[in-house]
Amino acid sequence: MRLALTEAQAAQAADDVPVGAVVLDASGAVVGTGHNTRESHHDPTGHAEVVALRAAAAARGEWRLSGCTLVVTLEPCTMCAGAVVLARVDRLVFGAYDDKLGAVGSLWDVVRDRRLNHRPEVVAGVLADESTALLDGFFARHRSAGLR
């Protein structure tokens, strides 16, 4: 999670919402990293999870990320939760809950939906205070500056 927080800080430095993600293989080696790139790439799918999953799939040479763990600083949205399921990630670890867009228990629970063909293990709340502090600081600065 510390590496995911470092990725989140990179997003913040680029004036994007500070969310970071890391994909680990079964041995614990990092096979993909990412942070939000929506602003810098003008890409609505530039969420940290999607960026990290793409990097991991490219590094492994396959889209199935069986045996992998995705670590992300914020509870995934519906798009990202769907990507976790479709990529066959075995474990999802996240920091802060997202009461507005969360799809891993807050508003929806996409990854545990029994109708889907894959359900990863979920570990929630890891370093949640640090993740929340980054997000709260970012949005407080933007509100005070009249942005977003």
Which residues sit in the known binding site for Zn(2+)?
Answer: 47, 77, 80
Q: Measured between alpha carbons, how far is 36 from 51 in angstroms, rounded to an integer?
A: 8
> Would you call 62 a catalytic residue per the annotation?
no
- Choosing from 49, 75, 121, 130, which is the catalytic residue? 49
Distance CA 28, CA 10 (A): 22
**C-alpha gyration radius of the chain:** 14
| DSSP letter, residue 16 | S
Which residues fall in the annotated binding site?
A: 47, 77, 80
Confirm if 32 and 56 have CB atoms less than 8 A apart: yes
Give the residue from 8, 9, 84 showing the smallest Cα distance to 48. Answer: 8
> Cα–Cα distances in Å, from 59 out to 10, 31, 54?
21, 6, 9
Look up residue 72 and give its amino acid: V
Annotated catalytic sites, by residue? 49
